[in-house]
A and B are shown apart, each in its own frame.
Chain A
Amino acid sequence: MRIWGERGTLQDQEQRLAYLFLLVPVTIVFLVIIFPTVWNLWLSFHKLSLRDLRTSAPLSLNFTTYSYLKVFGDLDFTSSLIATLTYSIGGTLITLLLGLGTALLLSPKFRGRGAMRGLFLIPYIAPVVAVTFTWRLLLDPRGPIMTALVNVGWLKQPLHLLGQRPLAMTTLILFQGWRYFPLAFLFIMARLQAIPRTLYEAADVDGATPFQKFFYVTLPQLKLILATLGLLRFMWTFNRFDDVYLLTSGAAGTKVLPVLVVDYLIGQFDVGAGAAAAMVLFGCLTVLLIIYFRLIMRRAEQMEV
C-alpha cells in the first residue's frame, strides 16, 4: 500500500474509498454505542451528583468504587435482582407460549383469518401509556373487573392486582405476555408456514397422531426461532422500564433494576450510582446471555442442521 495522498493504482484508490465508506458506520457505532457505554462506565467510577455534571468533576481522574458499593449494599438490591429475573424469565416464557398458541390456532385456513391476525397485533402496536392507563383502571380493586367478580360471588374481597405482593409481579408478567405475544406470534407463524408439507404427509403415512406431529415435526422445526425469540424477549424484558413504571411505579415487590437506576438518578440525584446500577444491569445481562448461548442457542442450531 502506498502513502496517503499519492494517487497510486486504481486498486489503492478503491481501497481508500472503501475505508472512507467504512468510516460512516464506524463513526455511528462509536457515537451511539461505544461512546455512551464507555462514558457510562467512566461515570460509574465517580461520586457525582446532578450538580457536578456541569462542572469538570466528571472528567476528573479520582476514581472511586463508591457507586458500586452503594448499589451492591442497597437493601433493595437483592430483591431487585430477583424481581428482574422473575419478570424477565416469566415474561419471556409466557410471551413465547401465547405466541406459539395463537400461531398454531391461526395457521389453518379459515374465513376471516387475515382479520384475526390483524386484531391480534393490537396490543403490540397500541401506545404504552394508553394501554397501561386503561389496565390500571380496569384492574383497580374498585374497577369493573373486581366489582364484577365480587358481585358474581367468585371473590369475597376485591384483589389489588397491581398493589400487593406477589400479585403485582404476576400481573406484570401477564401484562408482558398480553402486550408482546404478537411479536412472537408473527415470527412463529412465518416459520410455521415455511415447514414443508411433505413432512406432515410423511407423518400421516406413518400414522402419527396430531400430538406426535406437533412434538416430532412442528416443534423441532420451530426450535431455532423459539430460541432466538426467547433471547430477544429476555434481553428486552430485562431492560424494560416503561411498562413497570407505568403500571406499579416499582411498588409491591416490582422494583426491577431499571426502576432502581431511575430512583438513583432522578430520586436521589446520584448520577454515579445510577450509572453503576446501569452497568450492573449490563453485566448481569451479558453473563446471562453467554449462558443462554452456550446452553440453548448452540443446541437449537445443531438441531436445525
Chain B
Amino acid sequence: MWHKVTGVLVLLVVGMVVFALGETTVTIWTDLVEPKRVVIQEELAADFMALHPDIKVEVVTVLESEMPTRIAAAYAAGALPDLVRLSLEYVVGWVEEGILDAEAASALIEKMGVGTFGAGPLESVKVGSGYAALPTDGWGQLLLYRKDLFEEYSLAVPDNWADILQAAVVLHDPPNMYGIEVATDPNQVYMQQVFEHFALSNGARLVDEAGNIDLTTPEFIAALRFYKLLATQFTPRGNIYWMHTRLDYLGGKTAMTVWSPYILDELAGLRDSAPVTAEFPEGTPVLYERTGIVSSFAGPAGAPAQGGAVLYLGISVDADTEAAQAYAEYLLSDGYAKWLSMAPEGMFPMRPGYINVWKELEFGVDRKGKISDLYPAEVINAIATGVENIDRWGIASGRSACVSAIYATRTVIDVLRRYIDGEIDSATEAAQMMQDRVRYLSGCEDK
C-alpha cells in the first residue's frame, strides 16, 4: 500500500514540476470591457501565445470604476494580476503603495528605448531614476463647439473664458439650445475631469511652491466662480454627466460641451447605440461637419491648459516579471497597431513612431471609417497636440498619492456641487472647505 501512495505522490510532484516548467500564465486586468474591444484583446493574446507557446495569457475585464477596489483587495490577498491597465492618476500612488514594480517597467522601457516613447507621458510617471509604468495610449479632453452657429453669430473661437462665456450667453436658448453643458454629477469622475480642466486653464494647480496642497488661491476661487456660472446659467438642471452631454451634443441641443475624443466616432454617425439625432436641412453639412474643436483653453489668469487622460500598463509586484514584460512589449510593438485599433479616436499612440500607423486605422462601431478621411487635419492635430500637452493636478509635483485619493473619494466635486446648488454661499468659503477636506485625506498631508 505505501509504495502506491508514494507512487501517486511522486507522479503528482513530477506533474506539477512539468506543469510549472511548461507553462507560465500572464494575467492582464483591463478596463476595456466593451465586447468588441474584448474580442480584439483576446485575439492579441492568442497571437502572442502562438509565438510563445510556453506563456499563457489570460485577459480579465474589470470596470474602470472598480479597478482601485479590486486591486486593493488583490494586493491584500497577495493575488495581483501580472499586468494591469490603469490611468495616470493612480500610477505613482500605486508604486508608493508597493503594488507596481517600477524596476520591471523601467527595465522594459530601457530595452525598448526611452526615446521611442513620448516624453510627456514618461515624465509624468517618473519615480527615482526610472518610470512607474508603460504608457499605452491617451486622449486630450476636447471642447466641442458648433462652428456653424459660431459663424452665424460671428463669435470668436472659444479658446478662453471670455469667449466661452460670450458664446454661451448669445447661443443660450433653452430648452432648444443650451449655451454650454458642463458636468455636475458628483458621483462621476467626469465632473472632476471637466472641472480640473477649467481650474488648470486659470493656472490653478493643486499644490503651492512648497509642494503642499493649496486650493485657496485667487486663481482657484475664480475657477470655482466661473464653473458655477456655467453650471447654473447654461447647463440643464440635474446630475449631468457624460451621458447627458453626449446625448445633448449629438441631439444638437447644446452649443458647447467638454468631452473626450471618444465621441468622434459617434459624432460621425458610426455607432448606433449613440446616434446623432440633430437634424439639418437636406444637402447641408451634417453635425460632425458643423463641429469645431478646441483642445486647450485659457482663463484670465492662466495659460492654455489641456486636460485629459493617459493610460498605462503596470507590471505588478506579484508578476512573473519576464513573461509579463514579454507580453507588455508585444502589446506595445508588434501588437500595437491592433491594440490602438480598439478605439483609435480615443487611443492616441504613446510611441511617436506609430502615429502614421494610427492615422490609417479605422474607427467606429457599427460602421467603419478612417479618422483621417472623416475629420480635417486640424482635428487630427488637435488630438495629437492635446495628448502631448496633457496637464494634471499634482502629477508633476509628486503629489499623485493625494490626487488618487481626491479622485477616489470625490471630495472636491462633492463640495463643488454644494457650492453650485447654493448650499455654500461664497466661492471663498467653498475653497476653504475643499482645502480643509483635501488636506485631511491620507496622502495629502503637508510635506
Contacts and interface: CB of A to CB of B under 8 A. Distances in A.
Interface of A: 49-51, 53-54, 70, 73-76, 140-142, 157-158, 160, 162-165, 248-249, 251-252, 262-270, 273
- By DSSP majority rule, is chain A's interface helix, strand, loop, or mixed? loop
Contacts, number: 91
Given A51-B96, A251-B187, A266 B244 contact: no
Contacts of A268: 405, 408-409, 441-443
Interface string B82-107: 00000000000100111100000000
A264 B408 CA distance: 10
A54 B80 CA distance: 12
Nearest to A269: B97
Contact of A252 (B93, B237, B401, B417): B417
Name the residue among B69, B236, B238, B440 with the largest chain A CB count within 10 angstroms: B238
Interface stretch (B52-60, B70-78, B299-307, B328-336): B70-78
B179 interface: no
A253 B442 CA distance: 21
A183 to B, nearest CB: 28
A269 B443 contact: yes
B239 A75 contact: no
Given A50-B75, A51-B98, A160 B408 contact: no
A54 B98 CA distance: 9
A249 B410 contact: yes
A142 B244 contact: yes
Interface residues of B, number: 36
25 contacts: A50-B76, A50-B98, A54-B75, A73-B440, A74-B440, A76-B437, A141-B236, A158-B237, A160-B239, A163-B186, A163-B238, A248-B187, A251-B417, A252-B414, A263-B409, A265-B72, A267-B405, A267-B408, A267-B441, A268-B405, A268-B441, A269-B72, A269-B405, A269-B443, A270-B442
Contact of B437 (A75, A248, A267): A75
Given A158-B238, A267-B405, A267-B408, A273 B442 contact: yes
Contact of B186 (A140, A158, A251): A251
Nearest to B406: A267
Given A141-B238, A142-B236, A142-B244, A50 B97 contact: yes
Name the residue among A252, A265, A268, A270 with the largest chain B CB count within 10 angstroms: A268
A267 B239 contact: no
A164 to B, nearest CB: 6
A49 B442 contact: yes
B378 interface: no
Given A269-B442, A269-B443, A75 B236 contact: no
B409 to A, nearest CB: 4
Nearest to A248: B187
Interface in B239-272: 239, 244
A252 B413 CA distance: 11
A160 B75 contact: no
Contact of B237 (A54, A141, A266): A141
Nearest to B244: A142
Contacts of B401: 269
Contacts of B417: 163, 251-252
A157 B418 CA distance: 18
Contacts of A142: 236, 238, 244
Nearest to A265: B72
Contacts of A76: 437
B68 interface: yes
Contact of A165 (B75, B93, B423, B443): B423
Contacts of A70: 440, 442
B23 interface: no
A47 to B, nearest CB: 9
A249 B401 CA distance: 21
B237 A160 contact: yes
B419 to A, nearest CB: 13
